[in-house]
Amino acid sequence: MNTIGWPNFRSVNQEGIVFAIAVVLFVAAAIGLPGFIDANNLVAIVRSVSVLGILALGMAVVIIGRGIDLSAVAIMAMSVAWYLQLLNSGTPDGLAFAYVLAGVLAIGLLNGFLVAYADVPAIFVTLATGSFVFGYVRSQLITQDAVPVPQGHWVELLGGLRFLDIPIEVFVFAGLAFLFFLFLRYTKWGRYIYFAGDNPVAARNIGIPVRPMLVLRYVLSAFVALIAGLLTAASLHSINTRVVNSTLLYDIVLVAVIGGIGLSGGRGGVRNVLVGAALIGILLNAMTIVDIPLLYQNLIKAAILLGAIIVDGIINPRDEQTAQQGDI
């Protein structure tokens, strides 16, 4: 009950507000920044957020279920780096990909098992597995930070694919977004994620397999991270493992949270990811054109993320069950 005169923040549509801000920012940039509405620049904006958006889709599914995956970037970079290292060492393509896919799924299963069955808070599990994946792969499985794509390999060819002069990763992002939308909206497994995220105790009491579904979410996140890594390597013709220590992970959380995915679980969807990705893509592109130093860009993004978390805490207040699951 609102007894002290505060406005009813729960009625605020965060998604609508963020979309309106994105539109205003786009119009302002189109008017004030030379070259912003150039066709090549608009394609660059969409391309720049495609991999980020793909990672945010995996993160969104985990967050909707009251979790978080801090290992996503490490899985993305290190799995593809290992794959490329195997190829450059002469390992047959099919066997190399099978090794990497098995490793990625194993990390996803490990994350899910420790969170679901060992009751370890997700933030600690995924932070630890991300650090382990980075350290083990870098020290034992690859020989350098940047691993190139073998010349003529299908990953290199993938990076050159365009339809209507639009890079392939944009279409992959759109396709995955559509598949995730169908999964969350029209399958019982997708609805289970919302039920478990909204009230895991009640979901378990009515017979929903809460723990197996939790494991599934982390496996999905890991698999999506592999796809994002392959697209990154295709675009750059290499993968640089130093991205693990960049701000990419915070950008992923920023896209999900600012778009309206509630950190308390049970709220949000693909549309929120698309809105968040649109705003961040426009913002980053505008800051680049203005030539704002990277240090200050990171500062601005950090301030936006902090503000989004505060707003989320007001709109989607934590309850006792959320607190028992561990702080995100």
* pLDDT one-digit tens code per residue, 88-147: 999 999 999 999 999 999 999 999 999 999 999 999 999 999 999 999 999 999 989 999
Q: How many CB atoms lie within 10 A of CB 152?
A: 7
Q: Is residue 66 part of a domain?
A: yes
- Residue 316 is predicted with a pLDDT of 64
Q: How confident is the model at residue 44 (pLDDT cuts 50, 70, 90)?
A: confident
pTM: 0.86
Strand ranges (DSSP E) for the chain? 146-148, 162-163, 166-167, 238-240
3-class state of residue 240 by DSSP: strand
Helix (H, G, I), strand (E, B) or coil at 281: helix
Closest CA to 253 of 78, 109, 123, 113: 123
In a domain, residue 1? The reply is: no
Assign 69 to helix, strand or coil.
coil
Q: Is residue 31 part of a domain?
A: no
Residue at 319 is within a domain:
no
Structural domain contains residue 9? no
Angle of helix 122-136 relative to helix 93-116, nearest 10 degrees, comes to 150
The alpha-carbon radius of gyration of the chain (Å, integer) is: 20
What CATH number has the domain bearing residue 159?
Answer: 1.10.3470
N-terminal to C-terminal alpha carbon distance within the chain = 26
Domain-embedded: residue 8: no
- What pLDDT was estimated at residue 305? 79
Q: Is residue 7 part of a domain?
A: no
- Check if the beta carbon of residue 287 is closer than 8 Å to that of residue 111: no
Confidence (pLDDT) at 90? 92
Quote the number of domains for the chain.
Answer: 1
Does 233 map to a domain?
Answer: yes
pLDDT confidence band for 12 (50 / 70 / 90)? low
> Residue 204 belongs to what domain range?
15-26+36-313
Each residue's pLDDT tens digit, 176-230: 999 999 999 999 888 889 888 888 888 888 888 889 999 999 999 999 999 999 9
